[in-house]
Amino acid sequence: MAKVSGKGVEFKRTISHTFPFQGTTIVEDLQDAANRFDYVRFTISDFHGIARNKTIPSRHVARFLRQGLGMYCGILTAGPRSDLPFIQKIKDLGDPDALIVAEPDTMHALPWAGCGEYKVGEVICEPHWKEDGSYQEACPRYVARRQLDRLSNMGFSVTGANEFEFQVLNEKTLEPVFEGLDVFTSVVMATQESLLYEIDSELLKAGVDTETYQTEYGPGQFEITMRPVKDMKIADSAFIFKNGVKEICQKRGLLATFMSKPFPGHLMNGTHFNHSLWDRKGKNPMYDPTKDDNLSEFAGHWIGGLVKHSRAITALCCPTVNCYRRMGQHWCPDIINWGIMNRHTLFRVKNTGESGTYVENRLPSGACNSYLVMAATLAAGIDGVLNKIPRPKEADKDGEKLPQTLSEAITALKEDSVLCEGLGEEFVDWFTRVKQECEIDPLGEDKNEDAYPAEREMYMKLM
């Protein structure tokens, strides 16, 4: 354990890496990286994937890297519009500050920030209780890291990437930047080159590598896919990507929204999560060339876990009231099943050689938090492997239905003891309270068109 300089508080590390305080090489590395910036954002992800930060002038950064930075301890629980639910533990403590602490290897540039005059950086943080230095275990990044640690203890790492769909609108009129259902259309794509190439260039400077760009099926809708990376870098990159796209568009008087279904009609935004596992010898345990379908017994158990826990992970993959307008629509299955190279199934399995054998989780909506999607997916798959859950028959059209409302999804999560234990009691309690008190109660769950304006007010700007 390490003591905060001048505070006399011992900070406990409950998972694997070393706490970044004074005298450690981690802090020195972060400080070296911070020296190139005029300002540094100390940023955490809330439950919704919204970036919450305090910005520090460079002359003070070293102190906060050593000591942590005070921020209201309930900020994780803020709703999409920053209203707060009742959390007994937080109230009992008197609504104190937590310490947000910089995480190793997360300092990066924000080249789109700074008004063209100042160099701005960002470091991703996790919150700790001031009383004893322990993690706030409800933090989405912490929840994801718990699953990565479990996977590492089994001898595996995860390689993965997200496919993001989003819509770009005029910030004032909400008119899309192009009309029509012009998927893959070169002429329409050419009209948006300035924006898209700026997104690619700026994100690459922030350490986020994108691979493909295209127009999608909806007005003003795009899909951008990420380059596969390992472990926490998957979710960190997604977090930087979504907030970066929104800020880059905002500078142009545009609104980028990942909201699942912002308007009536065809357009829907999803975030597919592709992932494969690798052992310490660099082998993919999902791949078995001796099998007719190239899928190993391990892959079958992983798929079995995903299928078994699908109803529970829906609350994390489709975390808003609005998400359930997308459920069961074109290429968004509402039946729990899996299939090889099959876009009509919930889990689409690719099986083209060792490097091309992986699972595409097609459940997550555009409004998801990628830390929680990764955590839920890994927790379900790990249970499948540990308990040798068999995979069901392929492309089963009679599979169980997914939850059709956020309330139903929350109930399914609470009833899944394996997922609740894997994700952590504090997280499940806080997350479900936020969803109930800050979203379901004020919005209701009617799917009629009259409810769209209230849903847009809740979700469109920040998600």
How much is the average pLDDT of 291-314?
98
pLDDT (0 to 100) of residue 238: 99
pLDDT (0 to 100) of residue 9: 34
> Residue ranges of the domains in the chain?
2-136, 146-161+222-232+270-459
Residue recorded with tokens 């993959």: 317
Asked whether 41 and 95 are in contact (CB, 8 A), the reply is no
Asked whether 139 and 166 are in contact (CB, 8 A), the reply is no
Whether residue 2 is predicted with pLDDT greater than 50 in this model: the reply is no
Sign of CA dihedral 311, 49, 268, 228: negative
Tell me the C-alpha distance between 209 and 456, whole Å.
30
* Alpha helix stretches (DSSP H) within 156-296: 186-191, 193-205, 232-251
User: pLDDT band at residue 329, thresholds of 50, 70 and 90?
Assistant: confident
pLDDT (0 to 100) of residue 326: 94
pLDDT tens digits, one per residue of 198-229: 999 999 999 999 999 999 999 999 999 999 99
pLDDT tens digits, one per residue of 217-268: 999 999 999 999 999 999 999 999 999 999 999 999 999 999 999 999 878 9
Kindly state the percentage of the chain with pLDDT values over 90: 89
Q: What is the mean pLDDT of the chain?
A: 93
pLDDT (0 to 100) of residue 20: 43
pLDDT (0 to 100) of residue 12: 39
Asked whether 328 and 334 are in contact (CB, 8 A), the reply is yes
Burial of 205 (0-12, 13-18, 19+ CB in 10 A): middle
How much is the average pLDDT of 69-75?
96
Tell me the C-alpha distance between 431 and 76, whole Å.
9
Whether residue 89 is predicted with pLDDT greater than 60 in this model: the reply is yes
pLDDT (0 to 100) of residue 24: 60
The two beta strands, 156-170 and 221-226, are antiparallel
For residues 65 and 17, the model is more confident at 65
pLDDT (0 to 100) of residue 202: 99
Whether residue 457 is predicted with pLDDT greater than 90 in this model: the reply is yes
pLDDT (0 to 100) of residue 211: 98
pLDDT tens digits, one per residue of 19-44: 444 446 778 888 888 899 999 999 99
How much is the average pLDDT of 403-429?
98
Q: Which CATH architecture has domain 2-136?
A: Roll (3.10)
Whether residue 10 is predicted with pLDDT greater than 90 in this model: the reply is no
- In words, the CATH class of domain 146-161+222-232+270-459 is alpha beta
3-state secondary structure of 56: strand
Tell me the C-alpha distance between 72 and 203, whole Å.
29
Tell me the C-alpha distance between 346 and 397, whole Å.
11
What's 289's DSSP letter?
A: T
Tell me the C-alpha distance between 156 and 455, whole Å.
40
3-state SS of 408-439 is: HHHHHHHHCHHHHHHHCHHHHHHHHHHHHHHH
Instruction: Annotate 317-369 with DSSP letters as a single string.
Output: HS-SSGGGGTTTSTT---B--EEET-TTSSEEEEESSSTTEEEEE---BTT--
For residues 30 and 281, the model is more confident at 281
- CA distances in angstroms from 223 to 41, 258, 325, listed in the order given: 28, 11, 20
Q: Which residues touch 53 (CB under 8 Å, ≥6 apart)?
A: 41, 42, 43, 44, 122
Rama region for 363: left / alpha / beta (φ>0; ψ in -120 to 50; rest): alpha
| 2-136 shares its CATH topology with 146-161+222-232+270-459 | no
How far from each other are the two terminal CA atoms of the chain, in whole angstroms? 37
User: pLDDT band at residue 328, thresholds of 50, 70 and 90?
Assistant: confident
Residue recorded with tokens 């998801």: 368
